[in-house]
Chains A and B, each alone.
Chain A
Amino acid sequence: MLLSFALSFVSILILLFNNAFADEIVKKIEIEGLNSISNKEFIYLLGVEEGKVLNKEEINRGIKRLFLKGIFDDIVVNYDNGVLKIEVKEKLKIKRINIEGNEYFSEKFYINSLNLKTGDFFSKVKLQRAIANIQNEMNKRGFPENKISYVVSQEGQDVSMRILVEEGNPLRVKNIIWQGSLNENIKNLLSINQNDPFDKVMIEEFIKKSMEYLEKKGFKGSSIKYSFEKGELKIFIDEGVKLEIEIKGADSLTSKELKDLIMAHFKDKVSEDIIKDSVNNLITFYRTKGFIDVKISPLMEKKGNEWNITYIINEGEKRIVDKILFMGNFKTPPEELKKILINREGIDFNPEELENDRLRIEDFLRTKGYYEAKVSQPDIKDRENKIEISFNIEEGKLLKIISINIEVKENFLKKEAIDAVASFINFPFSNSVFIEIKRRIREVYIKKGYQETLVEGVTEKTNEGILIKITVHPGNKKYFGRSIILGNKKTKTNFIYDRLTHKENVTFNPEYIDKDRQNLYKTGLFSRVDINYEKYDDTIDLIYNVEELPAGIFEFGLGYGEYERAKGFVELSYINLFGVNKQLFSRLEISSIEKRSYITYIDPWLWSDLIFKSSLLFERTDMKNIDTKYIIYRIRKYGLSGGFEKKFFDYFKGELLYEATYSKIWDVRPEVILSDKDIGEIFISGIKASLIYDTRDNVFDPTRGWLAGVTSKISSEALGSEINFSKTSFYINRYTELKKGLVLATSLRAGFAWLYGNSKELPISERYFLGGRDTVRGYAQNTLGPKKDNEPTGGNAFLMGNLELRTSLGKNFYLINFLDFGNLWQKIDNMSITNLKYTTGLGLRYKTPVGPFRIDYGYKLNREKGESRGEIHFSIGHAF
């Protein structure tokens, strides 16, 4: 017995000891039954960590956070001697849906009506609701005896659903009886025949179409009703009233404009009261156009259900606002006041807006600090149809803010708040300024984590000005809590976490949340990013609910160019490889002279904002002289590149790439051979660096901004290249909207190549060519510059410029006037600014979402003997 007492005593002591030392440490975390998310994410959301104190309050929040994921059915958290054992039960997933027993309706009908699909989480409530939906739909479609049941069988974490359908006998239409206005055209719209099921959906569809038909035929107040009893479908049609409107005496406004106004009144029915309303509306409309004496009388003629209404209009004389005068005591310049009014000098007098104009002046003066401004009813003088409007203004005293006094407990952040609104001292007072002052003060506290800050304010008017007294209640300081990611199906949750800029337990600041949102949109993976808060006493959890965009794009197109003739492309891209936004782009282009394909891999998040890029390229080109149709040379090229891109600002980026190309050139016309490297196989290996500055408002069709860049490439034997050379090219494009619909686009481009070491000539594949649709448009593609026996050889230097005036013609058409100039030289030493070729011309563009379709004609201004007068070019996109 003693032993029993002793044991009891000891056990009670142990219990007390356990309770006394409640700060238990989590030594180990074990999770059972978790499949859909990683252990790491689970533990993070639950708010526990190995080696940390067990926080029961945090676990309570954590269970709620985890449940928001929508994948759990149960979570049990046990604690056993330092080990946190978590039992998880996930929701079951629908693996299969079978429809059985259906005869009249297809399986697709049932699947669509169910609104459930394989892969969804199984919910009995949702299934029961879906079954009720089907039954409701079948009742509407004439199968009231339907019986739908289901069998759900569980296989591990999946369920298979069998939907057992008994459609039953339908209600059948034995006879269709038409009543009321009989119209064969309407009868033909009904797709139900005798012995068909009584399908209310089809009947509603018939009524909708019939009403549209009657509306189109000018009937107003039409109605179609139906009844169904003992197999007899009765359809009653009331065509309503056929309305004809005639306008007489409208000299200044068009009949169409007036008829549209009138017809808007007779949407559902026609009655004498509605006619009166339409007359009043017309009178108001006329008055807004300056016809203040207008008189309108409706003449009505009824023949059966045909109503002819003639609106006889006596417009009277039109009034024009001749002068607007401002009387009284005010300092604001009258010209400023005139700008805010609807009634303006020289335009139609609108008496309907007079009161609003008076209020506009008052509001305007108040926003300028004349807080007590009063404007009396305007005085109107009519002198031979010329109206003079006089507003009498009592502007009052300009009220300036003389002090802003902030009261906050313990002067907390008071200095910062005062600094934030210091610029408002001596500023004219208005309600909007008062609101802005409160907003700025609140912002000071919010940025420091006081998210629930309340700012109250009162004003006091004194002889010197306005005193503002602000009281601030900052509330509790908040810190960032945990972030919950919802809605991502293909994108990895960790990838999204990595895009978030805020850190847990750091002072809550909404600016970080804006950055997070921008970062997520920048990935191009999401169409929507909603961020909601879950607030606790000291922390705020953020719930990121994202909606993903399709990550894959397949595009193809066909086109025609004057150089390539028929051409086409196929493009396939996917921007969410492995769910981490790695991107793959591939494109194949084929034309009569060229086959080109490439595949590019991009990792936009390699390290911080450094982008990794790499490409493989295959090209097979027959370089032709478009005039003589001769092949200048044929080339097959295999290329490889890899490197980095870094965005320094949104509009400025740099690239550093290694490029290697292996080319085989054959069928080279002897005239263009400058060195032995112009024929046969050649391997070129080099480093390319670029800087790009781009502030264009639209990449495809810019109207404002700059596009400028410089690219340098160095190719060296040290990198395995067969040729030692360096090339530098630059471009500066400027787009200026001179006025709406008129854009001036200018461009200057140049390129230079130097050879060094043993290399004496640049191979043909690296030489510049000029002339054609995107360069100097008076010349055919690649035909400008040095020639041997009339064949263009290409060169080591070029300089060119373009000037375009893009004028909108309306309906997406644009007229282009352009002046192009430029030339190509075999060596840099041969360059001469006096030796430029000039062409001018006209072009037509049709704007599309992917850039304009275009046709240009370029005319040579300094044509040489034997040259054509000009060239026509077809293409897509602007020349620059």
Chain B
Amino acid sequence: MRFILVLVMLFNICLIEHANSETINRVVAYVGNIAITLDDFKEELSKLREKMPDIKSEEVINILINKTILLKKARELFMEGRDEDIINSYIDLKIKSSIIIPENQVRQFYDENREKMNDRPYAAVRSEIEKYLFERELNKRLKEHIEEIKKDEDIKVIFMP
């Protein structure tokens, strides 16, 4: 018991020490000349944890890097506005605008997954399937696009919180 209490005391003293010499902020990663800071990381983490409580630090940093790259590319195209809006406009321009889901692909998906859709008629689920296929294609192409532009960027993760 005495040993545990001493440990508690020591922990508290360390805590005081830590509180007095805190890292206020630092670079956790960078994309070219754009720094991603610890504050950026914390802000993003708190937003993401609301939806994904188990998200890992690596994943958060990767998301921040991807956002930074997309923002950088969008600004190179002279897009202006809030960061989120710019990224969305860039994705619309570069990826969404070139995605077309042909009718036969929708039909094929319907035929292959008819049972999962409780044999609902084609006309009733058509737009739902199209939306799903569109989102699936968008995610695939966005991933490919980010990987492609990453090749030309100087990206480094400095510190993993």
A residues in contact (CB < 8 Å) with B: 1, 4-5, 7-8, 11-12, 14-15, 18, 54, 56, 59-60, 63-64, 66-70, 72-81, 84, 123, 125-126, 129
Q: How far is the CA of A389 from the CA of B100 in the complex (A)?
A: 52
A12 and B15 alpha carbons, distance in the complex (Å): 9
* A1-B2 contact in complex given A67-B33, A73-B158, A74-B27, C-beta closer than 8 Å: yes
A15 and B34 form a contact (CB under 8 A): no
Stretch at the interface among B16-24, B45-53, B125-133: B16-24
Q: List 15 A-B contacts (CB under 8 A).
A: A4-B9, A7-B12, A11-B16, A56-B24, A56-B39, A60-B25, A60-B37, A67-B34, A72-B27, A75-B26, A75-B35, A76-B27, A80-B20, A80-B21, A125-B154
Chain B stretch 120-161: residues in CB contact (< 8 A) with chain A: 151-156, 158-159
Contact B24 A54 (CB under 8 A): yes
CB distance from B16 to the nearest CB of A (A): 5
Compute how far the CA of A73 lies from the CA of B25 in the bound complex, rounded to whole angstroms.
Answer: 15
Complexed CA–CA distance, A78 and B152 (Å): 33
Q: B37's contact among A64, A70, A80, by CB below 8 Å, is which?
A: A64
Q: Given A11-B15, A15-B15, A73-B156 in contact, is the A5-B5 Cβ separation under 8 Å?
A: yes
Instruction: State how many angstroms separate the Cβ of A658 from the closest Cβ of chain B.
Output: 50
Contact partners of B158 in chain A: CB under 8 A: 73-74
Question: In the complex, which residue of chain B has the Cβ closest to the Cβ of A532?
Answer: B75
B35–A67 CB distance below 8 A: yes
Q: Which residues of A contact B21 (CB under 8 A)?
A: 78-81
Question: A1-B2, A4-B6, A56-B25 in contact; A18/B154 too (CB < 8 A)?
Answer: no
Instruction: Name the A residues within 8 Å of B15 (CB-CB).
Output: 11, 15
CA distance A777 to B153 in the complex (A): 67
A129 vs B9: C-alpha distance in the bound complex, in angstroms?
A: 54
Closest 4 CB pairs of A and B: A11-B12, A67-B35, A4-B5, A80-B21
Least distance between B22 CB and chain A CB atoms (Å): 6
Chain A residues lying within 8 Å of B37, measured Cβ to Cβ, are 60, 63-64
- Decide: A60 and B39 in contact? CB cutoff 8 A: yes
Q: Within 8 Å CB of B27, what residues of A?
A: 63, 67, 72, 74-76
Q: Closest Cβ of chain B: how far from A554's Cβ, in Å?
A: 35
- B12 and A78 contacting across the interface, CB-CB below 8 Å: no
B23's nearest neighbour on chain A, judged by CB, is A78
A88 to B1, CA, bound (A): 45
Q: How many whole Å from B21's CB to the nearest CB in chain A?
A: 4
Complex CA–CA separation, A11 to B14 (angstroms): 9
What residues of B have a CB within 8 angstroms of the CB of A18 in the complex? 19-20
A18-B20, A77-B26 given; name 9 further pairs at CB < 8 Å: A5-B5, A7-B13, A63-B27, A64-B35, A76-B23, A76-B26, A77-B23, A78-B22, A81-B21
- Interface flags for B35-65 (1: CB within 8 Å of A; 0: not) read 1010110000000000000000000000000
Q: Which listed residue, B1, B16, B152, touches A14 by the CB 8 Å rule?
A: B16
Q: What residues of B have a CB within 8 angstroms of the CB of A75 in the complex? A: 26-27, 35
Chain B: interface size category: 20 to 34
Query: Does B8 belong to the interface (CB within 8 Å)?
Result: yes
Residue of A nearest to B12 (CB): A11
For A77, the chain B residues whose CB sits under 8 A away are: 23-26
Q: Which residues of B are in contact with A by a Cβ distance under 8 Å?
A: 1-2, 5-6, 8-9, 12-13, 15-16, 19-27, 30, 33-35, 37, 39-40, 151-156, 158-159
Chain A residue with minimal CB distance to B156?
A73
Q: For B152, list chain A residues within 8 Å (CB).
A: 129
Closest to B35 in A: A67
Contacts A4-B8, A8-B8; A78 near B155 (Cβ below 8 A): no
Closest Cβ–Cβ distance, residue B64 to chain A (whole Å):
13
Cβ of B8: which chain A residues have Cβ within 8 Å of it? 4, 8
Q: How far is the CB of A668 from chain B (nearest CB, A)?
A: 70
| Docked complex Cα distance between A125 and B27 (Å) | 19
Q: Find chain B residues with CB under 8 A from A74 CB.
A: 26-27, 158-159
Complex interface: chain A residues within 8 A of B154 (CB) = 123, 125-126
CB-CB under 8 A from A12, the residues of chain B are 12
Contact B5 A1 (CB under 8 A): yes
> Chain B's nearest CB lies how many Å from the CB of A3?
8
Q: How far is the CA of A72 from the CA of B23 in the complex (A)?
A: 18
**Chain A residues, Cβ within 8 Å of B6:** 4
Chain A CB count within 10 A is highest, among B5, B34, B151, B152, for B5
The complex places the Cα of A66 from the Cα of B153 at a distance, in Å, of: 19
Within 8 Å CB of A56, what residues of B? 24-25, 39
CB distance from B90 to the nearest CB of A (A): 18
A29–chain B nearest beta-carbon distance, Å:
12
Q: Complex: how many Å from CA A4 to CA B159?
A: 36
B residues in contact with A5, CB < 8 Å: 5
Chain A residue numbers with a CB within 8 Å of B9 are 4, 7-8, 11
Whole-angstrom distance between the Cβ of A666 and the nearest chain B Cβ: 67
In the complex, A19→B159 CA distance in Å? 26
Tell me if B19 and A15 are in contact (CB < 8 A): yes
Report the bound CA distance from A11 to B153 in whole Å: 47
Cβ-closest chain B residue relative to A121? B154
- Are A59 and B25 neighbours in the complex by a CB distance under 8 Å? yes
A385 to B37, CA, bound (A): 79
Whether B25 and A64, one on each chain, are in contact in the complex, defined by CB atoms closer than 8 angstroms, is no
Q: Nearest Cβ distance between residue A543 and chain B, in whole angstroms?
A: 10
**Shortest distance in angstroms between A334's beta carbon and chain B's nearest beta carbon?**
45
Of listed A69, A70, A77, A84, residue having the most chain B CB within 10 A: A77
C-alpha spacing A511/B52, complex, angstroms: 48
Pair B25/A8 contact, Cβ less than 8 Å = no
A18 to B8, CA, bound (A): 20
Q: Which of A1, A8, A70, A84 has most chain B Cβ within 10 Å?
A: A8
Which B-chain residue is minimally distant from A8 (CB atoms)? B12
Most chain-A CB neighbours within 10 Å: which of B2, B12, B40, B153?
Answer: B12
Taken together as a complex, chains A and B put the C-alpha atoms of A11 and B22 apart, in Å, by 16
Instruction: Tell me whether A1 and B39 are in contact (CB under 8 A).
Output: no
Closest-by-CB residue of A relative to B18 is A15
Q: In the complex, what's the smallest C-beta–C-beta distance from B39 to chain A, in angstroms?
A: 4
* Least CB distance, A77 to chain B, in whole angstroms: 5
**For B30, what are the chain A residues with a Cβ–Cβ distance below 8 Å?**
67
A59: contacting residue among B22, B24, B159, CB under 8 A: B24
Closest Cβ of chain A to B2, distance in Å, is 6
B156 touches A79 (CB 8 A): no
**Pair B34/A64 contact, Cβ less than 8 Å:** yes
Residues on the B chain within 8 Å of A129, using CB: 151-152
Cβ–Cβ contact A60 & B2, under 8 A: no
CB <8 Å contact, A78 and B5: no
Is B26 in contact with A60, judged by CB distance below 8 angstroms? no
Residue of A nearest to B13 (CB): A11
- A839 to B: closest C-beta gap in Å: 62
Residues on A with C-beta less than 8 A from B2 are: 1, 4
Inside 8 A of B35's CB, which chain A residues have their CB?
63-64, 66-67, 72, 75
Smallest CB separation, B65 vs chain A (Å): 13
A79 to B22: give the CA distance in the assembly, Å: 5
Cα-based distance from A553 to B5 in the complex (angstroms): 78
CA distance A4 to B9 in the complex (A): 6
Q: Specify which chain B residues have a CB less than 8 angstroms from the CB of A123 in the assembled complex.
A: 154
CA–CA, A125 and B6, complex, Å: 50
When distances are taken between beta carbons in the complex, the residues of chain A under 8 Å from B23 are: 76-78
Q: B1: shortest Cβ distance to chain A, in Å?
A: 7
- How far is B35's CA from A125's CA once the two chains are assembled, in angstroms? 17
Query: Closest CB-CB distance, A39 to chain B, in whole Å?
Result: 18
A70 cross-chain contacts in B, Cβ below 8 A = 33
Distance between Cα atoms of A18 and B20 in the complex (Å): 8
Q: Contacting A69 at CB < 8 Å: which of B1, B12, B33?
A: B33
Closest Cβ neighbor of B155 among chain A residues: A125
Instruction: Using CB atoms, name the residue of chain A closest to B28.
Output: A74
CA distance A404 to B159 in the complex (A): 58
Expressed in whole angstroms, the minimum distance between the Cβ of B28 and any Cβ of chain A is 10
A516 and B40 CA atoms in complex are apart in Å by 32
